């Protein structure tokens, strides 16, 4: 349980240490504090703490009343500023109530207490800073960059094409999805490539960082990309490719250029391009010349963006890989298959999504065997149906029978007449990888 006094005193100590230590910068401030001190695209010293700022930063309703009984705190009646009047006493009080994990979560205080004789063991400033999300991934920084780079009309045009999420706004994590061994291996390679960008640049290896996710709808392509952004604390720039091929969108090719420019300016970031098959379809169709020009601009922009040079990780996704032409395929250096889950993966998914549910006599293996051909997204819909049906009977506890009935109800829907969205060998769409691959792995991240 959080300690209100401790929350407010940590904020005050952070502000004081940051103000006096010029070696520190914005990346040393925890994100929960940065957002309240950021103003008009700047983050300047001194960091003044008022009751309203403390309330926003800590969530404590009455911050001054919470700490007013402590001998080392004071408030300026005129300005409303809250501060510490005896730093040694405040630090002694703070250190007697925290462990190393608490200090490590705040690089500014890790810097101050790394070699402090009364501090808990295990404090390392460099590690704390490395684990702190950089300000370039904060919503406030992203918004200030967009305001600086675009005028209001240009920004609206650009936002018609892309959706930009800060890591703090991404609810999906990699722990929330079940990945195959193949998918985990590709993600691990990506993480290593990002960590060792300088080395890869030194040896001239730049053909990394452009992935294509393929698989039926609902198999986790978008969730995996977003989860990766959350895991790596990277802004997530999602291109709405359907808007690029809309003849009603003005100056489309110019906006495509802007999209990639934004990704480069937000770097390091993830640039996610969904519905990539529409590129190939447009190239071979009788679409308006302006739309074709926009698509060619898109392909050229993909060629010119780089993880090594620009710190932009490019991920394309498609439900229809059979519709991609050679020109589209060769833009990517890795292909990651997102098949429909096999029975063991469905069991893992069921255990994951029912983690917070009460289900009497729950047998995920039996449910998994009865849901052949369903995706992770489908399984969530089955659970939704079971929960809502139970609520109509004023029940929050489910039964195994509820789940089985929900499966039957789900399968009766007209929208499930054709489960296989990708033509070809059905076996290639079940967990185990692409045709010719032997990977049948699955995993359940915790």
CATH of the domain at 254: 3.40.50.300
- What average pLDDT does range 135-143 have in this prediction? 87
Q: Work out the pLDDT band at 431, boundaries 50, 70, 90.
A: low
Q: Are residues 266 and 293 in the same domain?
A: yes
Please check whether residue 108 lies inside any domain of the structure: yes
Q: Over pLDDT 90: what percentage of the chain?
A: 46
pLDDT at 438 exceeding the cut of 60: no
Measured in degrees and rounded to the nearest 5, phi and psi for residue 165 equal: -115, 135
Residue 24 pLDDT more than 60?
A: yes
Identify whether 435 is part of a domain. no
Whether 257 is covered by a domain: the verdict is yes
- Which of 132, 155, 189 delimits the end of a domain? 132
Q: Is residue 299 part of a domain?
A: yes
Per-residue pLDDT for 366 more than 90? yes
Average pLDDT over residues 193-213: 86
In this prediction, residue 1 carries a pLDDT of 44
Judgement on whether residues 151 and 256 belong to the same structural domain of the protein: yes
Higher pLDDT, 275 or 22: 22
pLDDT band at 15 (very low <50, low <70, confident <90, very high): very high
Measuring CA to CA, which residue among 292, 287, 313 is closest to residue 233? 313
Domain shared by 189 and 247, yes or no = yes
Q: Return the HEC string of the chain.
A: CCCHHHHHHHHHHHHHHHHHCCCCCHHHCCHHHHHHHCECCECCCCCCCEHHHHHHHHCCCCHHHHHCCCCCEEECCCCCEEEECCHHHHHHHHHCCCCHHHHHCCHHHHHHHCCCCCCCCCCCHHHHHHHCCCHHHCHHHHHHHHHHHCCHHHHHHHHHHEEEECHHHCCCCHHHCEECHHHHHHHHHHHHHHHCHHHHHHCCCCCCCEEEEECCCCCCHHHHHHHHHHHHCCCEEEECHHHHCCCCCCCHHHHHHHHHHHHHHCCCEEEEECCCHHHHHHHCCCCCHHHHHHHHHHHHHHHHCCHHHHCEEEEEEECCHHHCCHHHHCCCCEEEECCECCHHHHHHHHHHHCCCCCEECCCHHHHHHCCCCCCHHHHHHHHHHHHHHHHHCCCCCEEHHHHHHHHHHHHCCHHHCCCCCCCCCHHHHECCCCCCCCCCCCEECC
Statement: residue 151 has pLDDT above 90: no
User: For residue 439, what pLDDT is reported?
Assistant: 40
- Provide the domain count of the chain: 3
Q: What pLDDT is recorded for position 328?
A: 81
On whether both 64 and 142 belong to a single domain, the answer is no
Is residue 439 included in any domain, yes or no? no
For position 261, what pLDDT does the model report?
85
With a CB cutoff of 8 Å and minimum separation 6, the contacts of 312 are: 209, 263, 264, 267, 268, 269, 270, 271, 305, 306
- Report pLDDT for 160: 67
pLDDT of residue 241: 72
Whether 143 has a pLDDT exceeding 60, the answer reads yes
Position 425 in a domain? no
Nearest of 218, 209, 283, 270 to residue 244 by alpha carbon: 283
Same domain flag for 99 and 200: no
The residue out of 272, 306, 337 marking a domain boundary is 337
**Band (351; pLDDT cuts 50, 70, 90):** very high
Between helix 87-95 and helix 4-20 the angle, nearest 10°, is 130
Tell me whether residue 423 is in a domain: no
Inter-CA distances, 238 with 170, 320, 359, Å:
12, 19, 37
If you average pLDDT over residues 361-386, what whole number do you get?
91
- pLDDT tens digits for range 66-88: 999 999 999 998 999 999 999 99
- The answer to whether residue 123 scores a pLDDT higher than 80 is yes
pLDDT, residue 440, reads: 38
How sure is the predictor about 158, in pLDDT bands with cuts at 50, 70 and 90? low
pLDDT digits (tens, 9 = 90+) for 295-337: 788 888 899 898 888 999 999 999 988 888 787 888 898 899 9
Q: Place 433 in a pLDDT band, splitting at 50, 70 and 90.
A: very low
Mean pLDDT of 413-422: 51
For 126-135, how does the pLDDT look when each residue is reduced to its tens digit (9 = 90+)?
999 999 988 8
Domain-located, residue 429: no
In this structure, the answer to whether residues 218 and 156 fall within a common structural domain is yes
Task: Please tell me whether residues 174 and 300 are part of one structural domain.
Answer: yes
Phi-psi region for residue 361, left (φ > 0), alpha (ψ -120 to 50) or beta? Answer: left
Q: What is the mean pLDDT of the chain?
A: 84
Residues 332 and 398 in one domain: no
Residues 321 and 354 in one domain: no
Of 132, 153, 182, the one marking the end of a domain is 132
Do 159 and 144 lie in a common domain?
yes
> Is the pLDDT reported for residue 427 higher than 60?
no
pLDDT at 414 over 90: no
Cα separation, 311 vs 200, whole angstroms:
12
pLDDT band at 110 (very low <50, low <70, confident <90, very high): very high
| CATH number of the domain residue 352 falls in | 1.10.8.60
- The answer to whether the CB of 21 falls within 8 A of the CB of 125 is no
Same domain, 147 and 238: yes
Shared domain check, 192 and 298:
yes
Note down the domain range covering 18: 4-132
Q: Residue 441's pLDDT is what?
A: 41
């Amino acid at each position: 349980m959080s300690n209100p006094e401790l929350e407010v005193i940590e904020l005050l100590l952070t502000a004081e240490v940051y103000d006096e230590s010029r070696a520190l910068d914005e990346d040393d401030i925890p994100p929960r504090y940065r957002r309240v001190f950021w103003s008009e695209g700047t983050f300047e010293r001194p960091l003044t703490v008022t009751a309203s700022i403390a309330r926003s930063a800590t969530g404590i309703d009455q911050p001054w009343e919470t700490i007013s009984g402590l001998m080392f705190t004071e408030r300026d009646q005129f300005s409303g500023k809250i501060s510490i009047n005896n730093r040694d006493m405040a630090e002694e009080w703070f250190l007697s109530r925290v462990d190393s994990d608490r200090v490590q979560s705040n690089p500014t205080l890790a810097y101050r207490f790394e070699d402090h004789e009364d501090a808990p063991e295990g404090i390392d400033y460099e590690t704390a800073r490395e684990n702190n999300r950089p300000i370039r991934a904060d919503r406030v920084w992203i918004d200030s960059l967009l305001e600086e780079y675009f005028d209001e009309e240009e920004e609206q045009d650009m936002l018609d094409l892309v959706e930009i999420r800060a890591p703090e706004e991404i609810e999906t994590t990699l722990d929330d999805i079940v990945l195959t061994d193949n998918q985990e291996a590709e993600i691990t390679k990506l993480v290593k490539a990002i960590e060792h960008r300088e080395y890869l640049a030194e040896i001239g290896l730049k053909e990394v960082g452009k992935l294509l996710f393929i698989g039926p709808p609902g198999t986790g392509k978008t969730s995996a990309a977003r989860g990766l952004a959350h895991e790596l604390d990277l802004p997530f720039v999602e291109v709405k490719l359907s808007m690029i091929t809309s003849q009603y969108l003005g100056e489309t090719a110019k906006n495509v250029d802007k999209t990639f420019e934004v990704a480069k300016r937000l770097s390091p970031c993830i640039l996610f391009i969904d519905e990539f098959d529409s590129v190939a379809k447009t190239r071979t169709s009788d679409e308006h010349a302006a739309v074709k020009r926009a698509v060619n601009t898109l392909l050229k922009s993909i060629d010119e963006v780089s993880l090594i040079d620009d710190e932009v990780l490019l991920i394309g996704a498609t439900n229809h890989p059979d519709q991609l032409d050679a020109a589209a395929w060769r833009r990517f250096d890795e292909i990651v298959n997102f098949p429909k889950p096999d029975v063991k993966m469905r069991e893992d998914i069921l255990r994951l999504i029912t983690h917070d549910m009460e289900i009497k006599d729950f047998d995920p293996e039996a449910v998994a065997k009865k849901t052949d051909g369903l995706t992770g997204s489908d399984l969530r819909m089955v659970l939704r149906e079971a929960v809502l049906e139970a609520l109509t009977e004023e029940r929050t506890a489910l039964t195994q029978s509820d789940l089985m009935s929900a499966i039957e109800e789900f399968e009766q829907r007209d929208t499930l007449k054709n489960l296989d969205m990708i033509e070809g060998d059905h076996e290639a769409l079940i967990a185990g990888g692409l045709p010719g691959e032997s990977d049948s792995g699955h995993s359940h991240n915790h």
